[in-house]
Each structure stands twice: as structure tokens, then as C-alpha cells.
Amino acid sequence: MNKSIVAIVRYESPLESVRKAVGLSHGLDHLPPNPKVFIKPNLVYWTKAVPFPKWGVITTSRVVGDMVVLLKERGVDDITIGEGIVTKSPKDTETPAHAFETLGYNVLKKRYGVKSIDVFERPFEKVDLGAGVVLNFNTDILHSDFVVDLPVLKTHAQAVVSLAIKNLKGMIDINSRKKCHSADPEKDLNYHIARLANKLPPSFTLLDGIYTIEWGPGYNGRARRSNILVASSDILSADMVGAKVLGYDPSEVQYLVHAARDRGRPLDFSDMEVVGEKIEEVASHHEYAFPYNEEGTLPRPMEKMGIKGLAYPKYDLSICTYCSALTGVILFAIAQAWKGEPWDNVEVLTGKAMKPTPDKKKTILIGKCMYEANRDHADIQEMIAVKGCPPAPKSVVKALHRAGIEVNPAIFENMDKAPGFFMGKYEGKPEFEEAFFTVT
């Protein structure tokens, strides 16, 4: 049996560290002649309004640029960088363009002829990934000859880790992303993620762990300077080793369990060879789940504040990206609105699967999915519905005010500036360098 090779390399210097990872893993040895190469970084979020913590959230431009150089050295002329960035509106083309410019992708275009695309401006096509999973994929990646998958080595609040297979979620359209967050307890988020690579062209994976993050995947997590690269031409093997580096056995990551079963692969690393650094010498446990109280009804920091009269149950796998991002802002606004007087037994429900509890006086249903799931539920005493998909911030403010929670509307009016609040914890720490997110 031929074992897949996974290389672990410590990041020490520009270009040469990525070159070493590629060489040890033989990751580009199977490039076809004159290939169309698609590079998929991870740009999970962007805002034009303020600088925000990119460390451990976004693939470094350093790694993207180095991969372009190595591809050019091998005579590759047709290179496309593509991503589908989460914005407030899928019709927003200015934010992705600003991201590509700021991250130096336009420099790569001028220097090497690299194209960069916002997948929401490109066609999608329906793909049957097997096991009943049918999603709409970007055509550019599907019809490339070779894919270079460049995710961040990070945890994920719902999926435990977010690595190469999960990174491909950025290649599907909005409806498909929502579909992945199914309320079906069997065919859930992990079930869908596991199949994302099933129709991928030949590929090479490089997990960018120059910066890693706990409580990912967003800017409100806690970043670390880790200086680790994990590389393989087998996407599942890369993810299994990446999970272990973050402190999780593959058996603890349900999408890896599904993917391994789907491919007839063991989870014990017996069919792969790890070269370079040893896993145990670079592994470091990264927390993935945001801390909640024992009942799962309130984030622990809010409970420590003494907040009473409010239940905001812990997110589940059915809450999609848009409502998830909004939830962070809602919780921040509620915390800011707390004045020490208990609220009137209010609960806030999110996602597609939560059900109301009988003793709550006011039940706020966030989003169209939650409203449709519970609009006729007998246990709701007073329903306050926010029906949009995604919900409009103004509607959220109105609902919270109706429930007696006087949140500051300005927080929602300036949502794009909220990520800047998290920059403070990295100030004065020289290991967190903005230079990694530019191309010079």
C-alpha cells in the first residue's frame, strides 16, 4: 500500500519554509503539463471600515505569495486565486475587491499575471457529492487542472477544526452554505463538510499555521504565533494531521470521521507517513468551543457579569454563517446594555433546531429559519420574531427593545467597525505582524 505523505515544517523564513514543505511532501510533483491552477486561500471575513485581527483568521499573504512563486518556478502561467468572502450582502463586490487589493493579490497580478476572482461574481454549477449531498460549486475551481488549498490551521466553534476540506465551503453559493447547516441530526454540518472535496480536481494542501487561533474561525478568537506548516497532496491526510497539531484526535472531529468512512480510510494514521517535524513536538491544544455556563443558556463571561432574566442558548450546528456573525454582535450589545436589573425572563433562539422553553415570558426568534420552525409553538407566551434571512440589524434592535433590552442601536449601525474592538489585545505584541498580510 502506498502511504500518503504529510510534511510538518516549522516556518522560519519567507519562501524557503514553504519550499521545504512542498519538497518534503512532494506536493507539486504531480502537476499536469500547462495546468490551470486554482489557489483557494481562506478569507473568512473582511471589512473596509477598520483594521481587524487577521492573525489565525485569514491565510497569510506571505504563504499565498510564496506558493505563486513556486508555481511560477515550475512554469505555471495560468494561476487564479479565488474566494467567496462573507459580507453583509452577497451583492457587495467592493469589500472583496478591497480585500484582494489590501492583501496584495493585485501586486501578484501585475508581477506574475495572477488572476483573482470573487466567486459570487462567477457562475456556479450543481455537483452531486454523493450520500445525498448536492451543492452548487464555483465553476472555476471545478474546471481547473490543479487546486492549491491554503487554509489556516485553526479551530472552529461548530466543526472543532477548520482546515482544508472545510476551506472548500468558500467555493459554494449562499444557498448551499445554508443547506450545509441542516437541522437534520444525521445529515448535519459535519456530514455536508465531509463531502466537499469529493469532486475536487487533483490538489495540494498547505495548512498555514504561521498564526493559529483558538475559538475560531473569526476575529473574536484568540490568536497565537505558532510557525507551523502542514503539507500534503492528500487533503484528508493533511486535515487529520492538522487536527492532531491543534490537539484533537481525528476521531473527535466528526467531519473527519465521515470523510474517512466515506473513503474507506482509517483514523489511526496507519496509511500515511509524517515527515519533517514530529506531531507531538509541534502539537498544542487549542480550545474550539466558546465557554458557556453549565446549563448552556448564557456565555460564561455574561454569567460572570451577573446577567439575570435572559437565556441565550449556546449555538448549535444549524446556525449558518450569517446568523452566527450577527449573534456575536447581539451578545456584545446585550452585555453593553446590562445595568444590573434582571430582564423579564427573555430567551433568544437561533439556528434551525432550537425549541422554546415553557416558562419564558418573551421568546425572540432570530432569523427566518427559527421563525418558521417555531411560529406556531404552544410554549411561546409572547413571540418576538425577526424574520429576515439574514435578519436586518434594525429589526434585531427593535425586537430587543420590545423585550425590554435597551441595546444601543449604534452598535448595529456600525457593525463593520466592531471587529476593530478586538485589536486591542494584540497591541504591543511584536509577534503579531501586519507585514504577513501584504505582498512586497
Is the overall model pTM greater than 0.85, yes or no? yes
- Cell numbers describing residue 364: 425572540
Amino acid 91: pLDDT: 82
**What torsion, rounded to 10 degrees, do the Cα atoms 284, 287, 288, 292 define?**
170
**Cell 456575536 belongs to which residue?**
328
What are the 10-residue block averages of pLDDT along the chain, 440 residues in total? 93 98 97 98 96 98 98 98 88 95 98 98 98 98 98 98 98 96 97 98 98 96 98 98 98 98 97 98 98 97 98 97 92 97 98 96 97 97 95 96 98 93 96 96
- Cell numbers describing residue 267: 483514523
Amino acid 87: pLDDT: 86
In order, the DSSP letters of 194-237 are TTTTTTPPSEEEEEEEEEEEES-SSTTSEEEEEEEEEEESSHHH
Residue 423 to residue 409: CA distance in whole angstroms: 22
Amino acid 107: pLDDT: 98
Residue 333 to residue 313: CA distance in whole angstroms: 16
Residue 383 to residue 381: CA distance in whole angstroms: 7
Distance, C-alpha 403 to centroid of its chain = 32
Amino acid 200: pLDDT: 98
Residue 225 to residue 387: CA distance in whole angstroms: 41
Residue 103 to residue 435: CA distance in whole angstroms: 10
Residue 259 to residue 89: CA distance in whole angstroms: 32
3-class secondary structure, 152: strand
Amino acid 1: pLDDT: 64
Amino acid 88: pLDDT: 78
Enumerate helices (H) and strands (E) in the chain, giving the number of each.
16, 16
Amino acid 259: pLDDT: 98
* Domain boundaries, given as residue ranges, for the chain: 4-288, 300-407
Compute φ and ψ for 146, nearest 5 degrees.
-160, 140
Amino acid 86: pLDDT: 85
Residue 433 to residue 150: CA distance in whole angstroms: 19
Determine contact, residues 303/293, Cβ cutoff 8 Å. Answer: yes
Residue 83 to residue 44: CA distance in whole angstroms: 9
Residue 162 to residue 166: CA distance in whole angstroms: 5
Percent helix, strand, coil in the chain (nearest 5)? 35, 20, 45
**Greatest C-alpha distance within the chain:** 69
Sequence-separated (6 or more) residues with CB below 8 Å from residue 17: 9, 10, 11, 66, 229
- Fold for domain 4-288? Rossmann fold (3.40.50)
Count the Cβ atoms, other than its own, within 10 Å of residue 359. 10
